[in-house]
Amino acid sequence: MLLFQSKIQEPIFVETVKEVSNRLSINPNWLMLVMYFESGLRPSAVNSSTGATGLIQFMPATAAGLGTSTAALKNMSATAQLYYVERYLKPFAGKLNSFTDLYFAVFFPAALGINRTGILKTQSLKASTIARQNPVFDTNKNGEIKKNEIIVFFNAYIKKIVPTEYQSKFKSKPMKHLGTIQAALLVIVAVIAVLLAVRQYN
């Protein structure tokens, strides 16, 4: 049984979430919580300020880029809307190693490429604007949101809202492969160790 699945009354929704999550290489409970946080699992949910609509709050421009519209999304069933959820997340498949990675992919993809102390902003979107539109994440109320503020927020949110038996589902996935930089560093360390050993015996 998935987290919050009782809130959706469509018989095939849960199985579709599992199938989508498998193709995206993520835990289906992560996707359920993202959708719950963003929309309460309501496919017709609309943010009156931004026009964001649906399970993961598609922005109008995002919906258009996926070949649909927020008006069309609003009238879809939750199961039907999962098709667009998967289309949106497909470029991130295999790259999401934690619940917060998944959330950043939905909320602010640029955050995936910055460190934990990085501030959420883009060339066209000021940090102050993002903070004003998302006050829940500006935890110290300084007019900007750092990536770590969102991570800390969700650590507390998960402990509060997610039943105990599901808590373990929200641990980060172990990395399958070392990144290029990490692998190169290991090679360098190994070479240095060999050189030191050779020098010691000469």
Task: Transcribe 50-63 into DSSP letters.
Answer: T--BTTTTB-HHHH
Tell me the whole-structure pTM to 2 decimals: 0.84
Dmax (CA) of the chain: 77
Alpha-carbon span 141 to 87, nearest angstrom: 35
Domain-embedded: residue 120: yes
Domain that holds residue 70: 5-173
Using pLDDT thresholds of 50, 70 and 90, give the confidence band for residue 200.
Answer: very low
Number of domains making up the chain: 1
- The two tokens of residue 78 are 């939750």
Using pLDDT thresholds of 50, 70 and 90, give the confidence band for residue 69.
Answer: very high
CATH of the domain at 119: 1.10.530
Domain-embedded: residue 42: yes
Average confidence (pLDDT) over 16-29: 98
Per residue in 134-166, pLDDT (tens digit) is 999 999 999 999 999 999 999 999 999 999 999
First and final C-alpha spacing in the chain: 64
13-24 helix and 28-39 helix, angle to the nearest 10 degrees: 120
Domain-embedded: residue 190: no
Alpha-carbon span 125 to 82, nearest angstrom: 28
